[in-house]
């Protein structure tokens, strides 16, 4: 039995952030990753993720303020440039499912500056966009692209430098809690620790099975695709964008290469994470290409696709809380929009597992909400 202060299960973005913060506070930390570090089977790989202030509740908007600050801290600590500000444009077409009122009210309450733009104003400012008449655009100048793989790796390097032991290819087989210590078992080792942070994403319920806990999760297989515009110049200056309707889409300007990345949000099939494919889906690519031909008609042909796994709670809200009855076991789930908060969530999870409290407001992300407790709760994933 190996004695350690804390164990982190899962070393994607959230787990890597937790390992960094725990080790930086002087704790002995072991991080256990089911696959290899930086693998492409979850949701922390590839290049770009969205960092934005626009959200549907003031609580979320305030949390984004912390995220911007803590990405800046990560850049300072790691010496890497990870955040590229490009501006962010939320597009609300007529009669859209996702209504703009909550976004407008939430940003106003928190004091986030933004512009309201008509379809004509959007096209005049960025001629690559052709939204339908009546579309409302909400533009925030601080919208940014965060490099996913490099950001996760930077947190892993800082965790390692602070003394954390990060072990890849070590799937956890069981977690048990005897009240004073928590035991974590892998195929070849056992650890006794003061507390555990579980950031296992699609494999969370497998890790928690020894505690008799199961979270209602749905795993889908998504497909970002890169398009090659014949003239990439205007796509280098466009903002990142989100189509706020169902189906919902999102995309990025040229970033690191002369291609435009886009994807449908929550448009993929439900899968078993242990049996899913990594092969592109031609029908998903064609559906996205048709939409891109309408909104961004000069974006060109699709040149490559990759798969990205979503792990969704029924209400699309995060889980950042101790397991009921087991205060030494804390769960972090990003519900497929948490990467932008990764350094912040790492700090919050470290707070919760060490002291049971945090300065951030995470009251909406516990285990006791209807989305996780009501068996008749109707899932909804558009945020």
Q: Per residue in 38-52, pLDDT tens?
A: 999 999 999 999 999
Chain mean pLDDT for the chain: 97
The answer to whether 266 and 222 have CB atoms below 8 angstroms apart is yes
Q: For 100-157, what is each residue's pLDDT tens digit?
A: 999 999 999 999 999 999 999 999 999 999 999 999 999 999 999 999 999 999 999 9
Q: Look at residue 382 and tell me whether its pLDDT is greater than 90.
A: no
Per-residue pLDDT, 110: 98
The mean pLDDT value for 213-224 works out to: 98
- Cβ atoms within 10 Å, residue 370: 10
Percentage of the residues of the chain whose pLDDT score is greater than 70: 100
**Peptide bond just before 32 cis, omega within 30 deg:** no
Q: Which residues contact 161 (CB under 8 A, 6 or more apart)?
A: none
Percentage of the residues of the chain whose pLDDT score is greater than 90: 98
pTM for the model: 0.97
Per-residue pLDDT, 270: 98
Per-residue pLDDT, 6: 98
Q: For 272-289, what is each residue's pLDDT tens digit?
A: 999 999 999 999 999 999
Q: For 234-244, what is each residue's pLDDT tens digit?
A: 999 999 999 99
* DSSP, res 270: B
Q: Which domains does the chain have, with CATH numbers?
A: 2-44+149-217+314-373 (3.50.50.60), 88-141+219-309 (3.30.9.10)
Range in 73-77, 178-182, 328-332 with the lowest mean pLDDT = 178-182
In angstroms, the CA 302 to CA 61 distance is 34
**Confidence class of residue 188 from pLDDT cuts 50, 70 and 90?**
confident
Q: For 253-278, what is each residue's pLDDT tens digit?
A: 999 999 999 999 999 999 999 999 99
Give, for 89, the enclosing helix (H) or strand (E): strand 88-92
Q: Look at residue 198 and tell me whether its pLDDT is greater than 90.
A: yes
Per-residue pLDDT, 383: 81
Give, for 328, the enclosing helix (H) or strand (E): strand 326-333
């Amino acid at each position: 039995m190996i004695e350690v202060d804390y164990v982190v299960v899962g070393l994607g973005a959230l787990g890597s952030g937790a390992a960094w913060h725990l080790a930086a506070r002087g704790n002995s930390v072991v991080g256990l990753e089911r696959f290899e570090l930086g693998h492409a089977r979850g949701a922390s790989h590839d290049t770009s993720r969205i960092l934005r202030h626009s959200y549907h509740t003031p609580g979320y908007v305030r949390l984004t303020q912390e995220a911007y600050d803590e990405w800046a801290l990560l850049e300072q600590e790691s010496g890497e440039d990870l955040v590229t500000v490009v501006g962010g444009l939320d597009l609300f077409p007529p009669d859209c499912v996702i209504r703009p009122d909550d976004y407008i009210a939430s940003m106003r309450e928190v004091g986030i500056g933004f512009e309201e733009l008509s379809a004509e104003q959007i096209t005049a400012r960025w001629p690559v966009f052709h939204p339908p008449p009546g579309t409302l655009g909400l533009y925030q100048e601080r919208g940014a692209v965060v490099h996913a793989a490099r950001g996760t790796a930077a947190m892993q390097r800082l965790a390692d430098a602070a003394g954390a032991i990060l072990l890849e290819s070590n799937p956890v087989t069981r977690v048990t809690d005897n009240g004073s210590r928590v035991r974590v078992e892998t195929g070849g080792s056992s650890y006794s620790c003061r507390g555990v942070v579980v950031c296992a994403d699609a494999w969370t319920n497998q890790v928690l099975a020894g505690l008799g806990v199961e979270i209602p999760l749905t795993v889908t297989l998504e497909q970002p695709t890169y398009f090659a515009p014949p003239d990439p110049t205007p796509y280098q200056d466009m903002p990142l964008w989100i189509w706020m309707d169902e189906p919902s889409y999102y995309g990025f300007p040229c970033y690191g290469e002369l291609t435009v990345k886009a994807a449908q949000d929550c448009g993929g099939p439900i899968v078993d994470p242990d049996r899913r494919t990594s092969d592109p889906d031609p029908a998903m690519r064609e559906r996205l290409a048709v939409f891109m031909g309408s909104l961004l008609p000069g974006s060109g042909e699709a040149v490559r696709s990759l798969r990205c796994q979503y792990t969704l709670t029924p209400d699309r809200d995060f889980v950042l809380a101790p397991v009921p009855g087991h205060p030494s076991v804390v769960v972090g789930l990003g519900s497929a929009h948490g990467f932008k908060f990764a350094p912040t969530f790492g700090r919050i999870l470290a707070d919760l597992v060490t002291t049971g409290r945090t300065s951030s407001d995470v009251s909406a992300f516990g285990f006791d909400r209807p989305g996780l407790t009501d068996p008749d709760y109707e899932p909804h994933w558009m945020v």
